[in-house]
Structures are given as structure tokens and as C-alpha cells.
């Protein structure tokens, strides 16, 4: 026969019940941080953006970039793996036959809707030829016109060629370039 064991509730001390101790600790932390930020500025977490910009961590997923072949052409072979894997359905590709018989296809049109993108990185994972990356260290700037959120092949390739220059976290406005 099953027995029921009743556990006595642990009685909290007066100090715990009053919350004054924890309240005092919280105020002490805030006060210490306040004076550190004013006099030492070592722990100041507020960044005066955009004048002041911090480098993003390496794992940060930034704007997409399309990689280049050695001859400068786009590396993408229009296999559609990225657009198939994209859960937000924001990659649109139109494939075309390449004039070079060694290359089967290329993207005549390659557009990413950066406003719709949820920055999951699935497209990068799905790409079999490392043609798309999200290590640009760039982030989307606010869009005032919905049309500028569509990044076309040329823009994505420009970001690809800028990649070395932007690895330090510099922000460049590319949305208004040719799509």
C-alpha cells in the first residue's frame, strides 16, 4: 500500500521574509555600477550608436553575401537548396543556363528579402558550394522604403567583395546600390 510522506515546509527567516537584505544588495549593485560608469567608465554598457560602434562577435550572423569565383563570377550554381531550406521563404532565384559548359547553371536573378529574413542561417548551412555566407559583419539598416529591403545579386556580390574590408565591423550602406 502506497504511503504518503508529508514534508514540512521550511520556514524562512525574518531576513528572507522582509526582503530588505536582497533589496539592499540590489541597491548596492546599482550604486556601484552608477559610480563606476561615471568615474571609471569600465563597465559602461551604453554605446553612443551610430557614432560609436562595437565590433560584432564572430558568431554574429550579419547580412548575406554571395561569394565570387576566381574570375569574379558568382559562385552560386542556382541549385535552389538555400531557397528550399529557407523557412521564411525570402530567397527568390531564377536559374539560367551558363555559357561555360563546365558550369551547369547560374542565378540570373537572386534576391533576398532582408526584411522578411529571420536570420536563422539555414541558407548558409544548406549551400553545397559555400556560395552564400552571413559573416559580412554588417547589419540591416532601417528601411524607409519597402523596395530597398530586397537585396539583389549585385548588392549581395558587392557585400561579398567588401567582406574583407568590413570584417572589422564597419557599417556601410548598400541598400540603395543597384539591385
- Binding residues vs ligand SF4 (CB under 6 A): 76-82, 85-88, 90-91, 93, 112, 117-123, 126-127, 129, 131-132
Start-end of H helices in the chain: 14-18, 20-35, 81-85, 122-126, 153-166
Distance between CA atoms of residues 142 and 149, nearest Å: 9
- Return the residue matching grid coordinates 561579398: 160
Judged by CB, which is closer to ligand SF4: 16, or 125? 125
Judged by CB, which is closer to ligand SF4: 22, or 125? 125
- Spatial contact of 171 and 138, defined as CB atoms under 8 Å apart: yes
- Spatial contact of 133 and 65, defined as CB atoms under 8 Å apart: yes
Judged by CB, which is closer to ligand SF4: 93, or 166? 93
Distance between CA atoms of residues 74 and 130, nearest Å: 11
DSSP symbols for 29-76: HHHHHHHIIIII-SS-----TTTS-PPPPTT---S-EE-B-TTSSB--
Judged by CB, which is closer to ligand SF4: 60, or 122? 122
Q: How far is the CB of 68 from ligand SF4 (least distance, A)?
A: 12
Q: How far is the CB of 130 from ligand SF4 (least distance, A)?
A: 8
Q: How far is the CB of 61 from ligand SF4 (least distance, A)?
A: 7
Judged by CB, which is closer to ligand SF4: 27, or 118? 118
Q: How far is the CB of 74 from ligand SF4 (least distance, A)?
A: 8
Q: How far is the CB of 93 from ligand SF4 (least distance, A)?
A: 6
Amino acid at each position: 500500500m502506497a504511503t504518503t510522506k508529508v514534508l514540512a515546509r521550511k520556514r524562512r527567516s525574518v531576513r528572507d521574509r522582509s526582503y530588505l537584505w536582497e533589496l539592499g544588495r540590489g541597491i548596492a549593485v546599482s550604486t556601484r555600477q552608477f559610480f563606476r560608469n561615471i568615474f571609471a567608465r569600465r563597465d559602461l554598457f551604453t554605446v553612443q550608436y551610430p557614432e560609436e560602434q562595437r565590433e560584432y562577435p564572430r558568431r554574429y550572423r550579419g547580412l548575406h553575401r554571395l561569394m565570387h569565383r576566381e574570375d569574379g563570377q558568382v559562385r552560386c550554381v542556382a541549385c535552389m537548396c538555400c531557397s528550399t531550406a529557407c523557412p521564411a521563404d525570402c530567397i527568390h532565384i531564377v536559374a539560367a543556363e551558363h555559357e561555360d559548359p563546365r558550369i551547369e547553371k547560374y542565378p540570373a536573378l537572386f534576391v533576398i528579402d532582408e526584411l522578411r529574413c529571420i536570420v536563422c542561417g539555414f541558407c548558409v548551412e544548406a549551400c553545397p558550394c559555400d556560395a552564400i555566407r552571413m559573416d559580412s559583419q554588417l547589419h540591416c539598416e532601417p528601411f524607409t522604403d519597402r523596395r530597398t529591403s530586397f537585396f539583389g545579386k549585385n548588392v549581395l556580390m558587392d557585400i561579398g567583395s567588401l567582406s574583407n574590408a568590413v570584417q572589422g565591423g564597419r557599417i556601410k550602406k548598400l541598400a540603395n546600390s543597384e539591385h
